[in-house]
Amino acid sequence: MCKLAVVITGINVGKGMTRLIIFLCCIPSFGFAAGNERIASFSYAKRLLMQEVYHDHRTTLYCDATFSEHKAITPLKGFVTAKYKKRAKKVEWEHVVPAENFGRTFRAWRDGDEQCVTRKGVVFKGRRCAEKVDQAYRLMQSDLYNLFPAIGAVNARRSNYNFVASVDGNREFGSCGVKIARNKVEPPVSARGRIARTYLYMQDTYPRYKMGKPQAKLMQAWDRLYPVSEWECQRARRIGTIQGNPNRIMTARCGLK
């Protein structure tokens, strides 16, 4: 069984330009909630978020920093960073559930593919290969529900580390409430509910992604402890309209239709 879907993807045509391609394809149905079946271009997904989801709520997930339509971060009082200083000036779109966490379930990510060879004959794998050869990966990577704005330096430091309730150490970003130590991330209280419901959505929607028991237990707890805000519900409504698939977690929490 499969569903006929309109998919928007893109190819790099050089000089920083991307050509969008729209086509029909058949997406397998696994009995889970329907996932992203429309947007297969990560660059297009980021554009949609900036222009149609966050156009009137330009605030980052971890630091509550504001940013402009041109991606520039408004200087945040007390924010400091020892690394990635150029990236600290720009907003980036972070996968709350890291791309590697689901990407490594794709064969092309783990093992590569015969198409994943550079012009110089260098074989590659990982994210770059999965993006090149696997439509299912591109759709999952571009799911808008899993993408949130973050200061670039924080996004870089977060990497693909798991979230935890607490880590020892000081805040390396000063006034920003996120803490990162020993490959673990303690997010600020203000972000925990949104993080939790994103993890729950991804597990509910994509059969190839499953949290480990400790992470699932933490996300379920954060979901209970930190209820949805009106903005979180509004964000889900907007994404549902654009992307076309409902978010059953947010439907239950917000009473969305």
Residue 30, pLDDT score = 43
Would 254 be classed as within a structural domain?
A: no
Place of tokens 């408004």: 74
Evaluate whether 91 touches 67 at the Cβ level (below 8 Å). yes
pTM equals 0.87
- pLDDT attached to residue 28: 45
3-state secondary structure of 61: coil
| Residues 6+ away with beta carbon under 8 Å from 70 | none
For helices 230-243 and 189-205, give the axis angle rounded to 10 degrees: 30
pLDDT of residue 8: 56
Element (H, E) at 68: none
Tell me, yes or no, whether 36 lies in a domain: yes
Helix intervals (H) in 15-134: 42-48, 99-103, 107-111, 127-133
Dist CA 128 CA 116 (whole Å): 8
Residue 189: inside a domain: yes
- C-alpha–C-alpha distance, residues 107 and 134, integer Å: 9
Rounded Cα–Cα distance for residues 172 and 41 (Å) = 33
Per-residue model confidence as pLDDT tens for the chain (257 residues): 444 444 555 555 555 555 555 444 444 444 466 899 999 999 999 999 999 999 999 999 999 999 999 999 999 999 999 999 999 999 999 999 999 999 999 999 999 999 999 999 999 999 999 999 999 999 999 999 999 999 999 999 999 999 999 999 889 999 999 999 999 999 999 999 999 999 999 999 999 999 999 999 999 999 999 999 999 999 999 999 999 999 999 999 998 65
Cα 203 to its chain centre, rounded Å, is 13
> Is residue 238 within 8 Å of residue 256, measured between CB atoms?
no
Whether 237 is covered by a domain: the verdict is no
What is the predicted pLDDT for the residue at 255? 85
Spatial separation of the C-alpha atoms in residues 169 and 171, rounded to whole Å: 7
Q: Does 252 map to a domain?
A: no
Give me the pLDDT at residue 77, please: 95
Structural domain that includes position 93: 2-229
Q: Confirm whether 105 is domain-assigned.
A: yes
Residues in CB range of 77: below 8 A, 6 or more apart: 175
Taken in order 153, 157, 163, 164, the sign of the CA dihedral is negative
Task: Establish if 255 belongs to a structural domain.
Answer: no
Is 167 among the domain residues?
yes
> What is residue 157's predicted lDDT score, i.e. its pLDDT?
97
Domain total in the chain: 1
204, 248 in Cβ contact below 8 A? Answer: yes
